[in-house]
């Protein structure tokens, strides 16, 4: 009888040990889920370039923000030091610049599963030191920004094959070496390129039929060196992240594409702001030297930026890049260091404040995650 009672107690304790997660407690990065139960992962694709020579695909659960790994990820870009990443307007292709190799990888893209397949001819020979890439909203042209020498290069882009072909009339020189910011307005009428070494932002008009650029003017920020550029959701404001002065400059964009810095600009950010994204009336800024993300609310009446309550928010050791996912519900942040990296996911509150989702940060599936793009 005693032996039976002991056996029963052991079984009960074992049951609660299993239900309770085997007693494991962890405070470190979570592992990106593989879908659970052997099923196929589902969610919104998140793409990350890795300086190790690959690009990763994750799927983000649109309800919880949980990040899942995908089969076959990461995939090679066919070059060294993958950096900037972009997608065409129809989500048919993903484009990744190989910074050191002087090539651009183009992948056919399954927008549901995030599966990537190199197109014929990829990677395409372009040029070295391409630090930014942008696809024109009409889907016919691709522009890259070269850091040294500072120049913009244009390519025709085939939405069918993904092929890139150099356009006549390029490169366009921007002066001192060190260019690092590039954006195109949602209308496709204007392109802006920044050169922090010269503290300038150059404005160009874009010919939608040929892809040609025409210089409209050059703006100089009151105080700073704009290393990264971002637009608001109406493409009427341009944000210049000044990594040297730890500030954000705000410019209004005229109907003719000229820039005027707003009163009160620049506005405080965190130490070494390197990347930013605007969503829901808030500019989110990755502060690399403090391991944080600043949340700066935009007052549209005066075009002023104000830090939200709780900002800045902890975002890993060395945040690199930001992207908004799932219609503005989540903010995805890549954070890397010399030994690896993580992907941090925040839920975005109604006021724009950030709360880490359960399981965040998630361990990256490749070393040194770099730039991120999310659907």
The answer to whether residue 24 is domain-embedded is no
Average pLDDT along the chain, 375 residues, taken 10 residues at a time: 40 36 46 56 94 96 97 96 97 97 96 95 95 98 96 97 97 92 98 94 97 96 90 98 95 97 96 97 97 97 97 96 97 88 97 97 94 97
- 141: Cα separation from own chain's centroid: 20
Question: In this structure, are 98 and 221 located in the same domain?
Answer: yes
Strands 362-363 and 30-31: parallel
Instruction: Please name the residue that has the structure tokens 């210049």.
Output: 240
Question: In this structure, are 110 and 241 located in the same domain?
Answer: yes
Instruction: Please say which residue of 268, 296, 318 terminates a domain.
Output: 268
The answer to whether residue 18 is domain-embedded is no
pLDDT at site 224:
80
Question: In this structure, are 137 and 262 located in the same domain?
Answer: yes
Question: In this structure, are 257 and 329 located in the same domain?
Answer: no
The closest alpha carbon to 68, from 42, 39, 50, belongs to: 42
Question: In this structure, are 109 and 83 located in the same domain?
Answer: yes
Looking at the 3D structure of the chain, how many domains does it have?
2
Question: In this structure, are 58 and 133 located in the same domain?
Answer: no
Instruction: Please say which residue of 222, 244, 268 terminates a domain.
Output: 268
Question: In this structure, are 236 and 109 located in the same domain?
Answer: yes
The answer to whether residue 278 is domain-embedded is yes
Question: In this structure, are 347 and 261 located in the same domain?
Answer: no
The answer to whether residue 256 is domain-embedded is yes
pLDDT at site 7:
41
CATH number at residue 333: 2.130.10.10
Question: In this structure, are 209 and 297 located in the same domain?
Answer: no
The answer to whether residue 338 is domain-embedded is yes
Question: In this structure, are 302 and 337 located in the same domain?
Answer: yes
Q: What is the pTM of this model?
A: 0.90
Token pair in block for residue 228 = 């990264």
pLDDT at site 355:
98
Question: In this structure, are 146 and 231 located in the same domain?
Answer: yes
With 0-12 / 13-18 / 19 or more C-beta atoms within 10 angstroms meaning exposed / middle / buried, residue 360 is buried
pLDDT at site 34:
56
Instruction: Please say which residue of 238, 268, 298 terminates a domain.
Output: 268
The closest alpha carbon to 152, from 193, 186, 184, 201, belongs to: 193
Domain extent for 237: 77-268
The answer to whether residue 339 is domain-embedded is yes
Question: In this structure, are 254 and 230 located in the same domain?
Answer: yes
- 154 within 8 A of 170, measured Cβ to Cβ: yes
């Amino acid at each position: 009888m005693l032996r039976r009672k002991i056996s029963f107690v052991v079984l009960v304790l074992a049951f609660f040990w299993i239900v309770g997660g085997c007693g494991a407690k962890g405070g470190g990065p979570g592992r990106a889920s593989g879908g659970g139960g052997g099923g196929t992962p589902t969610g919104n694709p998140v793409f990350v370039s890795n300086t190790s020579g690959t690009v990763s695909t994750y799927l983000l659960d649109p309800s919880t923000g949980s990040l899942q790994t995908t089969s076959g990820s990461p995939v090679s870009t066919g070059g060294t030091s993958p950096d900037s990443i972009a997608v065409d307007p129809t989500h048919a292709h993903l484009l990744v610049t190989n910074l050191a190799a002087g090539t651009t990888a183009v992948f056919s893209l399954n927008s549901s599963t995030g599966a990537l397949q190199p197109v014929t001819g990829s990677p395409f020979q372009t040029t070295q030191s391409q630090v930014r890439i942008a696809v024109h909203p009409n889907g016919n042209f691709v522009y890259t920004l070269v850091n040294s020498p500072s120049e913009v290069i244009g390519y025709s882009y085939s939405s069918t094959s993904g092929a890139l072909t150099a356009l006549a009339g390029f490169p366009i020189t921007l002066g001192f070496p060190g260019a690092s910011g590039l954006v195109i307005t949602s209308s496709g009428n204007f392109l802006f390129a920044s050169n922090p070494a010269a503290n300038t932002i150059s404005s160009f008009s874009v010919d939608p039929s040929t892809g040609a650029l025409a210089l409209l003017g050059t703006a100089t920020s009151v105080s700073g060196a704009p290393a990264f550029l971002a637009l608001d959701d109406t493409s009427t404001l341009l944000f210049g992240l000044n990594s040297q002065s730890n500030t954000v400059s705000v410019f209004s964009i005229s109907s003719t594409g000229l820039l005027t810095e707003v009163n009160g600009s620049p506005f405080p950010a965190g130490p070494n702001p390197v990347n930013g994204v605007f969503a829901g009336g808030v500019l989110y800024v990755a502060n690399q030297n403090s391991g944080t993300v600043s949340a700066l609310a935009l007052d549209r009446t005066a075009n002023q930026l104000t830090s939200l309550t709780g900002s800045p928010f902890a975002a890993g050791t060395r945040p690199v890049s930001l992207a908004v996912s799932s219609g503005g519900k989540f903010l995805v942040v890549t954070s890397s260091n010399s030994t690896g990296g993580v992907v941090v996911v925040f839920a975005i509150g109604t006021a724009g404040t950030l709360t880490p989702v359960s399981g965040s940060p998630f361990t990256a599936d490749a070393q040194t995650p770099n730039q991120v793009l999310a659907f």
